[in-house]
Chains A and B, each alone.
Chain A
Amino acid sequence: MNRDEFLLEMDEILDLPAGTLRGHEKLEELPNWDSTSLITFIALAENNGVSISPGQIVTCSTVSDLLRLAQAESNAS
């Protein structure tokens, strides 16, 4: 998944119009970034064969950090 595809997927997870997220947004400032979104993020990564734990997500502060985490885990797996 490339950066644009990832951002569109995050738009959907967070119920934002397509193209809203640019990557620099802080997770704590996104009102829809809640436990449901977090579990969805982990489940979708798992669906793509990438294992991510909540502990790893806690270290992410922006949307781009999530992308980097997903890419790093994808490369490692």
Chain B
Amino acid sequence: MTSEATILQSEVLKALRHPIVVADVLRKRKAMKRELLKQTNLIPTRIAILGGSTTSEVKSMLELFLLAQGIEPTLYESGYNRYSEEVAFENPDLWNFKPNIVLIHTTWHNISEFPELLEAEGEVEQRVHREMARFESLWEKIHTELGALIIQNNFDLPCLRPLGNLEASESFGRVNFVLRLNAELAKYARAHSRFLINDILYLSTQVGHAAWFRNSYWYNFHMAVSPTATVALAHNVAAMVKSVYGKSKKCLVLDLDNTLWGGVVGDDGVQNLMLGKDHAVGEAFLDFQRYVKNLQRRGVLLAVCSKNDAENAKEGFSHPDSILKLEDFSAFKANWNPKPENIRAIAAELNIGLDSIVFVDDNPAERDFVAEQLPEVAVPNLGADVSSFAEALEHERYFEVDKVVQDDLSRAAYYSSNAERSAGQAKFSNYGEFLESLDMTAEIGPFVPVYLERITQLINKTNQFNLTTRRYTTAEVVAIADDPGFLTLYGRLADKFGDNGLVSVLIGQILDDAVQVDLWLMSCRVLKREMEFAMFDALVEQCQARGICKIVGVYIPSKKNSMVAEFYGTLGFSPAGEASHGRQLWRYDVAATCSPKTQYIRRTAESLLVTTSVASESVISEA
């Protein structure tokens, strides 16, 4: 690609980031789409938009914002207000489309019955149940027959309030009714893993109700969301889809002086930093720290990248009002090196890609330098005022997740103990001794419901140790786990320093007496620990138990997975030629008995039990 094309693309991507000039996006959308389609390595997906109102603008804008996230959608639009009928009567066009994701674009206009004036509480409750039952039958059919993940709008508020403020307080009030329905929708979402809520109640408040719904668009086009508000809606849905495909960011790299506190710690001293409730600016920094701490608590890794003397930088966190503490950071670079160099070092230290990083700095010159040198790193335009920093980060939805899982919460602790592991390695005369000292245990078994979220997350974000880089939605993973035609394995690894969590996934397709490995990946955080050998041993055991005598390994080269180009060779597979699309095939004959490859990992009794029980154990129903 020419540098001119790259510059054009980066300009388009910039225009789709905060602060978005909506008029520019509307005016230039066709040219923007053209430029974004020139990107390489886009992730394909199929999204059906089932509308309770006109959806052409939703489709157009969603396509744009998904392309900006590196996702190329093929889109299907239902007939006008046919969201329910197309599912109920199994429209062949929709069924043949085979969506990965169904977006149900409904608004308060699609609520079929609002309460009557002075209706008794019990009657209102019945209406809520009837409305929910109507939607639930729709969702269940989509899940069971189309196998798609569902993104369902909750409800925005009706624009008129004939009862005035009583609409909110009386049980028969329409505002009250919408909020009750939304609570039921949320309850359903909590209980169903392939169901996400697109929170348009929040979005409509954020853009302002008067801008969200415009009578002129409703009466002329039956658009329930105005074109300008559709930009916000599409941005939000694109972030949700991005998270489903594991493309959300993982790490927030922060500058210190005038970013996490007011002032320069090296010059002003800790005691004079502006941080705390006794000063307007200090309170804004305090709130920004609180926001960052909340991100860290839910699994976002934090790192420092600051031009500072290291001791001074660390001293800053001893400020009595500092919410962030040194131990909250998984990497700490305070020196006088150029920031792009430090960010590269942080990525290497944390074993994450540069495209997983968001860099926050109050200094626009540093931001520009990093953005220019490391185009993969997200560099939000924070502005100059600390009180808008959190909002700028929030607006980009960098860290959107479709679920918070336990492994997310313990991630920062893992990275801290990783430093101890590295330090320990230096004490041993050979690598085997070091591995022995780690006292590693692995739990390996067929997919189980409790891990499906984490499995999907890994499938969609692992790039380096990934033999085929195939991506699957949660719905597809659930279907595969259910299907006796597939062999599945997950692997967790623990050592004396702590639990590494679920780090490896394998999916094989059973073809008569052979299994073809469609997917095999491992988190780079456990590279060179023999976990890949432990997974291979478990795969061989599974094959022996099922009478499978041949394993076909598939390697699909990508920009990022060259580290595993020879992986099958190292396991003893023989090259079996090339298939279509550059796929390289390898073959391994499974002997009736063979000695395990791993020397340093013990398998837990529990996982051996799971591993040796076959198909009946792998039948998984939705949690």
Contacts and interface: CB of A to CB of B under 8 A. Distances in A.
A35 B23 CA distance: 17
B27 A12 contact: yes
Contact of A44 (B23, B31, B214): B23
A30 interface: no
A15 interface: yes
A44 B26 contact: yes
A40 interface: yes
A12 B221 contact: no
Contacts of A15: 30-31, 34
B216 A53 contact: yes
Interface in B507-530: none
B31 A12 contact: yes
Given A15-B30, A36-B56, A43-B228, 6 more contacts: A12-B28, A15-B31, A39-B217, A43-B227, A47-B23, A54-B221
Contacts of A46: 214, 216
Contacts of A9: 27
A47 B31 contact: no
B29 interface: yes
A32 interface: yes
**Interface SS of B by simple majority:** helix
B90 interface: no
Secondary structure of the A contact surface, majority rule: helix
A51 interface: yes
A39 B227 contact: yes
Contacts of B23: 43-44, 47
A4 to B, nearest CB: 16
Nearest to A8: B27
Interface string B137-170: 0000000000000000000000000000000000
B220 A53 contact: yes
A43 B30 contact: no
A47 B216 contact: no
B60 interface: yes
Contacts of B57: 36, 39
B9 interface: no
Nearest to A55: B220
A58 to B, nearest CB: 11
Nearest to A47: B23
A13 interface: yes
B226 interface: yes
Interface string A28-53: 00001001100110111011000101
A15 B32 CA distance: 9
B30 A47 contact: no
A43 B226 contact: yes
A65 B103 CA distance: 38
A16 to B, nearest CB: 9
Contacts of B221: 39, 54
Interface centre among A15, A40, A43, A54 (most CB of B within 10 A): A43
B56 A51 contact: no
Contacts of A54: 220-221
A35 B56 CA distance: 8
A46 B27 CA distance: 13
Interface in B26-54: 26-31, 34
Given A35-B56, A47-B23, A47-B228, A40 B29 contact: yes
B27 A44 contact: yes
A9 B220 CA distance: 23
Nearest to A15: B30
Contacts of A35: 56
Interface string B205-226: 0000000001011001101001
Interface in B7-24: 22-23
Contact of B30 (A32, A44, A53, A55): A32
Q: Which of A40, A47, A51, A53 has the most CB of B within 10 A?
A: A40
A53 B217 CA distance: 9
A39 B61 CA distance: 13
